[in-house]
Structure 1
Amino acid sequence: MTVSADGGVRVLVVQHEDNTGPGLVGEHVERTGVRLELVHPWAGDPMPATLDGYAGLLVLGGSPNCEDDERAPWLPRTRELIRQAVAERLPLLGICLGGQLMTVALGGSVAPRGRVPEVGAVPLRRLAGAVEDPVLGAVPDGAPAAQWHWDEITALPPGAVPLLGGDDSVHQAFRVGPVAWGVQFHPEVLGDVMAEWAESDGPNVKAAGGDPDAGVAAVRAAEPQLRAVWGASAEAWGRVVLERAAAAEEPGR
């Protein structure tokens, strides 16, 4: 059952740090009528044992490596929930760290970039798989995406459909099965959050040869496009959640 006792359609949101909330994505998913229930394991919240009662799973970004289980001991459970969502065909969206967790949980690979972190507003390329995709199919070629990542997806999970690519980090968005999406970028982020990250992680980016201030400026300049493109994609994902939840409640299913 994916509809709660009060009749609401709930999505579990795994947030890894205090400054990496659902942001723009959460705002637009909730506009569809989906209710987001955040769990903050970094602050001591217990992770659910299963996704029973939830209609979907949203896994956000964060600074831990996707296999840094000692630093973030809730990651093994997160990977288990990802596998459950895919196995049960519950809508899933993994963002940056969430997309990397999805990648490794399903048999792909992630590695440190070994070069300057990708930071700023980066144009993406539409790939053939995006043409009829229900969530990312309307993303135009060259759409900007907010980026801030030190690791990157190096091999997609077996059977994954590539949807969006980049000239630097190749694997920017993919789908596994009918309703599980992973993205390397940050569709939830706008300039103010990027500025917060620049304060905390900017010195490390500068030491690695990057320009966090230019990255923040680029994201601020791209905000109208970011709001339009990724707000629409988030609402499309929310509609998928609602459609799957309604189908699961049909008699005989």
Structure 2
Amino acid sequence: MHSTPPYPLVIVKVGDTHDALREGRGDFEHWIADGLGTQTLPLVVVDPRRGDTLPAPGQVAGVVVTGSHAMVSHREPWSETTAAWLAELVARDTPVLGICYGHQLLAHALGGEAGHHTQRPEVGTVTVTLDAAAAGDALLGDLPAQFPAQAIHWQSALRLPEGAVKLAHSAHEPVHAFRVGAQAWGLQFHPEFDARTMGGYIELLARDLAADGLDAAALREGVRPTDAAAGLLGRFARIVEAKAQPAA
């Protein structure tokens, strides 16, 4: 009997890390792939910025959208095309995970709004607190009520789409996680960042951070491991794998 091969788990690469951080460990898509750890689904990386064609919505098992140094509010053509594609995936209940830029893009794609945070950027290891609505959530529901996570963002999801469920926040950021539909999530924090990566960002951006009134040395000193947040990538992969299993 002919069987359809498993559709891929697609990493949509919408940004690049700094050269100094890429050496030895790779880029955003490599960090995410390491965290996903899927053994049953092919991983495919597409980069719409360079003209890669996004797969047909009915031919993907799940999607992760990376972070980026770009801004969703600039509405670059490749970004708007990706937003429309994400809306189609959500309509199909395809598992989607947007990280940082991807989180903001998912909100924008579904009728919400992304733009600059009303205060200064949020940078470093921050404490994320689950909202009551996270209880029972397939992705975040088993996390501690509070957990450390790595964050670096100037923009935020300022307004969530109609029907979205807010799942987590920090003292600085009202929306650190949300779910829309059955299996689409946005995470403002970076589950793919380890402490070394976070520290590297702070060092590389020290001058920019100082211009925003942030003390890079103090931020660097506050960096710590974020194992609970990192585990969300593997949990998302298990959600995708379970949905991709053929019916018995």
Q: Which residue of 2 aligns with 1:245?
A: 244
Question: What's the CA shift for 1:59?
Answer: 0.5
Alpha carbons of 1:216 and 1:39: their partners in 2 closer, same or farther (altered >3 Å)? farther
In 1, the alpha carbon distance for the partners of 2:220 and 2:80 equals 32
Which of residues 48, 69, 81 in structure 1 aligns to 2:54?
48
Q: Which residue of 2 aligns with 1:57?
A: 63
User: Map of 1:60-139 to 2, 5 A cutoff?
Assistant: 60-70=66-76, 73-139=77-143
Q: Does 2:184 match 1:185?
A: no
Unaligned runs of 5+ in 1: none
Which of residues 183, 203, 207 in structure 1 aligns to 2:211?
207
Q: TM-score, normalised on structure 1?
A: 0.85
> Is the 1:47–1:77 contact (alpha carbons within 8 Å) kept by the matching residues of 2?
no
In 1, the alpha carbon distance for the partners of 2:230 and 2:75 equals 32
In 1, the alpha carbon distance for the partners of 2:183 and 2:199 equals 32
Question: What's the CA shift for 1:177?
Answer: 1.0
Give 2:147's aligned amino acid.
A
Which of residues 206, 217, 233 in structure 1 aligns to 2:221?
217
Alpha carbons of 1:31 and 1:129: their partners in 2 closer, same or farther (altered >3 Å)? same
In 2, the alpha carbon distance for the partners of 1:205 and 1:164 equals 25
Question: What's the CA shift for 1:76?
Answer: 1.2
3-state DSSP of counterpart to 1:52: helix
Give 2:107's aligned amino acid.
T
> Is the 2:35–2:230 contact (alpha carbons within 8 Å) kept by the matching residues of 1?
yes
Which of residues 151, 155, 159 in structure 1 aligns to 2:159?
155
In 2, the alpha carbon distance for the partners of 1:41 and 1:213 equals 36
Q: Which residue of 2 aligns with 1:29?
A: 36
In 1, the alpha carbon distance for the partners of 2:8 and 2:55 equals 16
Question: What's the CA shift for 1:32?
Answer: 5.1
> Is the 2:16–2:69 contact (alpha carbons within 8 Å) kept by the matching residues of 1?
no
Unaligned runs of 5+ in 2: 18-26
Greater CA drift, 194-203 or 57-66: 194-203
Q: Which residue of 1 aligns with 2:232?
A: 233
3-state DSSP of counterpart to 1:163: strand
Deviations 1:101-150 (A, max 9, x none): 00111111222124221001111111111110111111112201101000
Question: What's the CA shift for 1:79?
Answer: 0.2
In 1, the alpha carbon distance for the partners of 2:188 and 2:154 equals 11
Runs of 4 or more above 4 Å deviation: none
Greater CA drift, 162-171 or 15-24: 15-24
> Is the 1:120–1:214 contact (alpha carbons within 8 Å) kept by the matching residues of 2?
no
% identical equivalent positions: 30
Q: Which residue of 2 aligns with 1:39?
A: 46
Alpha carbons of 1:159 and 1:32: their partners in 2 closer, same or farther (altered >3 Å)? farther
Question: What's the CA shift for 1:52?
Answer: 3.5
In 2, the alpha carbon distance for the partners of 1:187 and 1:115 equals 23
Question: What's the CA shift for 1:232?
Answer: 2.7
Q: TM-score, normalised on structure 2?
A: 0.87
> Is the 2:124–2:202 contact (alpha carbons within 8 Å) kept by the matching residues of 1?
no
Aligned length: 237
